[in-house]
Chains A and B, each alone.
Chain A
């Protein structure tokens, strides 16, 4: 019988993954079994700890917020599912209780997709499986769930900030050691010990793998006396072997091993047992490949002796980041990771430069990262913004000391440039004598900016107030922070200037809720996501952090999280700001990767309606935070 509603459901879901990679006939089978659920604002679809449903869900209209509730009952937004997003995927992967709570952010209509029907038509669809695993990791991953162990898919979830699985092809051992069907176990064992290997493959005349003998077989079947040592290998080998093609991914390899509870996969020419053996993928190989991850890159950086090695390592990290973005790994994670790598690179660059200097530094100093690197939000290569702070010295030694550090800075700036961080156009680099100063000079400099704010001071402070120590003595920067907060206590005017600056970027949406695009120039009709959406959030976070005297929290989303902690009555706003910042950064980075630029300018017309909606949703907190600033710092009449 004709079912128009099923057809309309079908028309909608077929546009979105994973349904877009399902064949039309199969898709119609699913659509016919969907339930349509209406949720009022605040209605929960499932709560943390609820037993799993027979359905997973796709948002049709509205938005569903996924929360993680921690033990002390604080809620953290993990994701917001808009039209076309799937969620509640846990029952697809593991039959266990929900870990998150799904609540309607606004009035919503949700499609409930029956899991049995879905699985019956998709079990052989690798694309669908891959999407679901990634989507699941995105929706659930957060530091709390990562601590769980022993779950089937734990290997697919990032369990430390440095250990995120990638889908690269596994590196298997070629030219495996084999023996023939009629060799004795003793001969095989001799061969194994000669080659220092833990397993041997038994092959037939055509070199097709027939069985495998591992150390544990020898332990369990020979050493226990069950078989004599001269027995034929065919008596004790494990047969048949599990085989695979040579382009198997790490994830697949691992999955096969878990599924068959084995430690070795035979790689054959066509992937079946009836073709030539070309290699063996061992559990150890998988672990080694998994090792090709940020922690390995970090190690490489820390051991680098030359700038060239640093550049190679940084480029490797870049590729890794791209693949993480494609896999929808949470952005807060990627940001943290990249911050660590960038800091390590700068740290090592300073270290290498110090080695090149004729003498040791005359006094203690610190290398500071400024701007986005200082905020630890640099994802792709950008300009370098940095400065040096050194201990106060008697006047007669000042000239000499300063020259030493300027020389050092020249070396570091040069090598950073070589690594890929371009010179700053405004020359905000440590090699500029203006930004290579003693502690007292810096204190005076900041005091001057704070007490005599003008256009230039505000512009510079937006870069300099986000400093963080990359190398050297942290007590210097810490004393500088203390001095800054002491001076900030004396004046309110500076906050007003910062506030005005934070508001100078006009709201992203016009009166008629249209996107405000650039009016002229090369970027005419493009939407500037950086200045209209990201900068207001960054500026507001900085101002609020300074006025709340928060020390040592530099990244924008962490600043909002900290603010949410400090001001419980504004918690919701700050949390949505933190979320909006992450979502917008991801947007920008993805656009950047897509068009091979900074991603700053977006052509609104090329976005899907859902993407536009997502963008708009992020703008709401921007307006709200700007209103908060206006009220708090009394900016209404401050022009």
Chain B
């Protein structure tokens, strides 16, 4: 696709994508406690960004330290490709008794939920890649949101002498270190909530060290 095509295609973008992009115009940073964050997680059929597909997306949003249960996102996607071996990890069956939606609908719901706000994920690169790949399949651009990776943030919050490059800083490890209850681990929404709590706990620690500013959080 050439540069020219992009400009041509822009006119045909669905309305929700245009709406989504509009959130990034003239966006200013509010203070951290007044900023809306979205912690999210995806469950996928595997780790190959091209081959594998998203099974479900879970997201929770919060401003300050309060997460509203009635404003969470939980999407289950219809699958063309079904890999039996992933059922074991995620417990998601093809015929599971939940309402499933198409990728197109999922993208729309996800974008409407996240708006232009800051996204938080654990090992964010993977989730970001999977979503972007999905957007690409539907002829849309990449996510524009700023990302915070809880794994990276946690590592950075440690004193340099305690940082360990060989340690994976998995979500399980962080839960143990930060004493976050592991409920519904390996479901998208469960992991999203855990990620949100992990993030809030790291923020609490940063606040004590007076590191709570955007430059630090976004590593600018």
Asked whether any CB of chain B lies closer than 8 Å to the CB of A4, the reply is yes
Chain A 1-32, CB within 8 Å of chain B: the 1/0 string? 11111101100000000000000000000011
Asked whether any CB of chain B lies closer than 8 Å to the CB of A328, the reply is no
With a cutoff of 8 Å between Cβ atoms, the chain B residues found around residue A35 in the complex are: 66-69
Interface SS of A by simple majority: mixed
With a cutoff of 8 Å between Cβ atoms, the chain B residues found around residue A37 in the complex are: 65-67
Contact A1 B201 (CB under 8 A): no
With a cutoff of 8 Å between Cβ atoms, the chain B residues found around residue A109 in the complex are: 181, 197
Asked whether any CB of chain A lies closer than 8 Å to the CB of B112, the reply is no
Chain B 48-90, CB within 8 Å of chain A: the 1/0 string? 0000000000101000011111101010100000000000000
Q: Which of A88-119 contact B (CB under 8 A)?
A: 107, 109, 112
Contact A32 B69 (CB under 8 A): yes
Asked whether any CB of chain B lies closer than 8 Å to the CB of A36, the reply is yes
The segment from B1-9, B125-133, B144-152, B187-195 found at the interface with A is: B187-195
Asked whether any CB of chain A lies closer than 8 Å to the CB of B161, the reply is no
Contact A4 B187 (CB under 8 A): yes
Which residue of A is nearest B72, CB measured?
A5
Asked whether any CB of chain A lies closer than 8 Å to the CB of B15, the reply is no
Given A4-B189, A61-B181, also A36-B99 (CB < 8 A): no
Count how many chain B residues have C-beta atoms less than 8 Å from C-beta atoms of the other chain: 26
Minimum distance in angstroms from B97 CB to a CB of chain A: 9
Contact A31 B69 (CB under 8 A): yes
Asked whether any CB of chain A lies closer than 8 Å to the CB of B184, the reply is yes
With a cutoff of 8 Å between Cβ atoms, the chain A residues found around residue B102 in the complex are: none
Contact B204 A33 (CB under 8 A): no
With a cutoff of 8 Å between Cβ atoms, the chain A residues found around residue B183 in the complex are: 8
Given A38-B200, A40-B207, also A4-B69 (CB < 8 A): no
Looking at A8, A37, A38, A43, which has the most chain B CB atoms within 10 Å of its CB? A38
Asked whether any CB of chain B lies closer than 8 Å to the CB of A189, the reply is no
Given A2-B74, A2-B99, A3-B74, also A107-B66 (CB < 8 A): no
Residue from B70, B197, B204 in contact with A32 in the complex, judged by beta carbons closer than 8 Å: B70
Residue from B69, B70, B72, B201 in contact with A107 in the complex, judged by beta carbons closer than 8 Å: B201
Given A2-B74, A4-B74, A4-B189, also A9-B69 (CB < 8 A): yes
Contact B74 A38 (CB under 8 A): no
Q: How far apart sit A8 and B207, CA to CA, in the bound complex (Å)? A: 29
Contact B189 A5 (CB under 8 A): yes
Given A2-B98, A107-B204, also A36-B69 (CB < 8 A): yes
Minimum distance in angstroms from B182 CB to a CB of chain A: 11
Asked whether any CB of chain B lies closer than 8 Å to the CB of A34, the reply is yes
Minimum distance in angstroms from B98 CB to a CB of chain A: 5
Minimum distance in angstroms from A117 CB to a CB of chain B: 10
With a cutoff of 8 Å between Cβ atoms, the chain A residues found around residue B76 in the complex are: 2
With a cutoff of 8 Å between Cβ atoms, the chain A residues found around residue B207 in the complex are: 40
Which residue of B is nearest A55, CB measured?
B66
Asked whether any CB of chain A lies closer than 8 Å to the CB of B35, the reply is no
Asked whether any CB of chain B lies closer than 8 Å to the CB of A39, the reply is yes
Contact A38 B58 (CB under 8 A): no
Minimum distance in angstroms from B193 CB to a CB of chain A: 6
Q: How far apart sit A34 and B193, CA to CA, in the bound complex (Å)? A: 14
With a cutoff of 8 Å between Cβ atoms, the chain B residues found around residue A33 in the complex are: 69-70
Minimum distance in angstroms from B49 CB to a CB of chain A: 25
Contact A112 B197 (CB under 8 A): no
Q: How far apart sit A220 and B69, CA to CA, in the bound complex (Å)? A: 57
Chain A 453-481, CB within 8 Å of chain B: the 1/0 string? 00000000000000000000000000000
Contact A3 B190 (CB under 8 A): no
With a cutoff of 8 Å between Cβ atoms, the chain A residues found around residue B163 in the complex are: none
With a cutoff of 8 Å between Cβ atoms, the chain B residues found around residue A39 in the complex are: 65
Minimum distance in angstroms from B38 CB to a CB of chain A: 14
Asked whether any CB of chain A lies closer than 8 Å to the CB of B22, the reply is no
Contact B66 A112 (CB under 8 A): yes
Contact B67 A3 (CB under 8 A): no
With a cutoff of 8 Å between Cβ atoms, the chain A residues found around residue B201 in the complex are: 38, 107
Q: How far apart sit A51 and B132, CA to CA, in the bound complex (Å)? A: 46
With a cutoff of 8 Å between Cβ atoms, the chain A residues found around residue B69 in the complex are: 3, 5-6, 9, 31-36
Besides the known contacts A3-B72, A109-B181, 16 further A-B residue pairs in the complex with CB atoms under 8 A apart: A1-B74, A2-B99, A3-B69, A4-B58, A5-B74, A5-B190, A5-B193, A6-B70, A34-B70, A35-B66, A36-B68, A36-B193, A37-B65, A38-B66, A38-B67, A38-B200
Seen from chain B, the residues whose Cβ lies within 8 Å of a Cβ on chain A are: 58, 60, 65-70, 72, 74, 76, 98-99, 179, 181, 183-184, 187, 189-190, 193, 197, 200-201, 204, 207
Can you list 6 A-B contacts with CB-CB less than 8 angstroms, sorted by A residue number?
Answer: A3-B70, A3-B74, A4-B58, A32-B69, A35-B68, A112-B66
10 closest A-B pairs (Cβ-Cβ)?
A40-B204, A36-B67, A38-B200, A4-B189, A38-B65, A34-B69, A35-B68, A37-B66, A33-B70, A35-B66
